[in-house]
Structure 1
Amino acid sequence: MEISNREKAAAIQNSIETETLEQIGLINPRSYRQHNINVADGFQAILGLHDLMPMEKVYTNVIRAFQDGDIGFVHVDYHLFEPTVAFDIHRFENGLSVEHWDNLQVNTKKVNKSGRTMTDGKTKSVDHHLTEDNKKLAAAFVNEVMVGRNFSLAEKYFNGDVLIQHNPYMGDGVSEFFNVLAEWKNEGKEQVYVAVQKVLGEGNFVLVLSEGYVGTTHSAFYDLYRIENNKIIEHWDVVEEIPSLENQKNTNGKF
């Protein structure tokens, strides 16, 4: 029986630990477009990267797995070269992954102000009939509030001050979220969202890929939102620097 795209994406990422990427046969060896711009294009480049990893330390733990049409996307707790949290996205054609995006951040391995980690919390999607509505809601929040910087509009996207927060440097609450953003601005490391690049969702989980800056550092923001009763209730994120063009190892672009 054909497995789902979410299951395929999870299997691909889990194969890093088991060193079975070639054997599982879920990546097209002749056509694999890579958007991790720290890695060269193509399937062989992935195999070469795995050869460099300290395999005695490597583990993969797929925490969440979702699918949106021909795309499977996963939230992963890794040890690759160091403890890492990532989102990995695969686009499938004829059952095989032909395109990959990801965003990686060092895992602090500490709880945040509210005792939460970067990956704990709800894991299973519900309300599948509301997928498109939830994607529109999350996209509107990021476009209006984060990109548009219309912070006064934020209240319509939340149930009062309720926000379960997994960012390692924040605690729970909508007010806490915006207070910390203001603190970072005063410290010269403001998070500036410039454009939403991609929106993926399944049921009440929506992943929004955005481009912007942390201070002056060109960055990619991957924000995962859990939505309940048409309000954002939980948030996970991964932020990664986008290297300059001369330091990119493929020409496909981050997004």
Structure 2
Amino acid sequence: MELSIRDKAEAIQNSIETETLAQLGLLNPQSYKQHNPNVATGVEAILALHEQMPMDKVYTNVVRKFQDGDIGFVHVDYFLFEPTVAFDIHRFEDGLSVEHWDNLQQNPQKLNKSGRSMTDGKTKAKDHHKTEDNKNLAQRFVQEVLIDGKVDLASSYFRDDFLIQHNPNIGDGVQEYLDFMWDENIQKYSKIHKVLGEGNFVLVLSEGFFKKRHTAFYDLFRLEEDKIIEHWDVVETIPEPEYRKNDNGKF
């Protein structure tokens, strides 16, 4: 039976640990566009990168997997060159991945002040009939509250102060999250690039600045009854153009 797009995205990332990417045959060998600025475009560049990894330590654990149209996206706990948490996104054509985006962050391997890791929590999508509504809600939240700074609108996106938080730097609660997000000395959102979703999980890809460095923000939200109730994120610095290994753009 043909694998689903979400399962193919999972299989591609799992093949790092099993060293079976070439045999898997899920990347288009003629057309594979890479958006990780630290990796050259094309399949051969990926295979070469894997050969540099300390394979005695490497592991992959796909914690969440979703699909949105021809895109599969996964939330992964890794050891690549160091403990890492990532979101990986693959766009498929004719059953093969032809385009890849990701965001990676060092995993501190400690719990935040509310006792949560960067990857624990709910994993399965539900309410598939509300996918588009949930995508629209998460996009509006990021645009209106995190980018435009419309403080008065924030309360409409949450149930009182309830928010399950997986960011390693802060704990549960809406106000603590917003205080962190609105501190322009820490981070500032400037533009949304993509919004992907399945059911009650929505991934928003944005850019901005973290501690004044050009940064990509990948925020995963879980929603229930038209409110945001859980949040995971991965934050990665975007290298300056002269240090990038491809010209495809981070987003």
Report if TM-score (shorter chain) is over 0.5.
Answer: yes
How many correspondences in the alignment? 251
List aligned pairs for 1:83-98, cutoff 5 A: 83-98=83-98
Tell me by how many angstroms 1:191 deviates: 0.8
| Structure 1 unmatched ranges of 5 or more | none
Q: Which residue matches 1:217?
A: 213
The separation in 2 between residues aligned to 1:179 and 1:33, in whole angstroms, is 37
Tell me by how many angstroms 1:152 deviates: 2.2
Counterpart AA for 1:152? D
Tell me by how many angstroms 1:153 deviates: 1.1
List aligned pairs for 1:1-255, cutoff 5 A: 1-181=1-181, 185=184, 188=185, 190-255=186-251
CA RMSD of aligned residues (A): 0.8
The separation in 2 between residues aligned to 1:41 and 1:16, in whole angstroms, is 17
Superposition misfits of 4+ residues, deviation over 6 angstroms: none
The separation in 1 between residues aligned to 2:42 and 2:233, in whole angstroms, is 27
The separation in 2 between residues aligned to 1:213 and 1:176, in whole angstroms, is 19
Tell me by how many angstroms 1:108 deviates: 0.5
Please say if residues 215 and 237 of structure 2, whose CA atoms lie closer than 8 Å, have aligned partners that are also in contact: yes
Tell me by how many angstroms 1:248 deviates: 0.6
Identity %: 69
The separation in 2 between residues aligned to 1:242 and 1:152, in whole angstroms, is 31
- 71-80 vs 208-217, greater mean Cα deviation: 208-217
- Residue by residue over 1:126-179, the C-alpha shift from the partner in whole angstroms, topping out at 9 and shown as x without a partner, is 000000000000000000001111122110000000000000011000011123
Give the TM-score normalised by structure 1. 0.97
Counterpart AA for 1:244? E
Give the TM-score normalised by structure 2. 0.99
The separation in 2 between residues aligned to 1:180 and 1:88, in whole angstroms, is 25
Tell me by how many angstroms 1:2 deviates: 1.0
| Structure 2 unmatched ranges of 5 or more | none
The separation in 2 between residues aligned to 1:147 and 1:210, in whole angstroms, is 10
The separation in 2 between residues aligned to 1:178 and 1:124, in whole angstroms, is 26
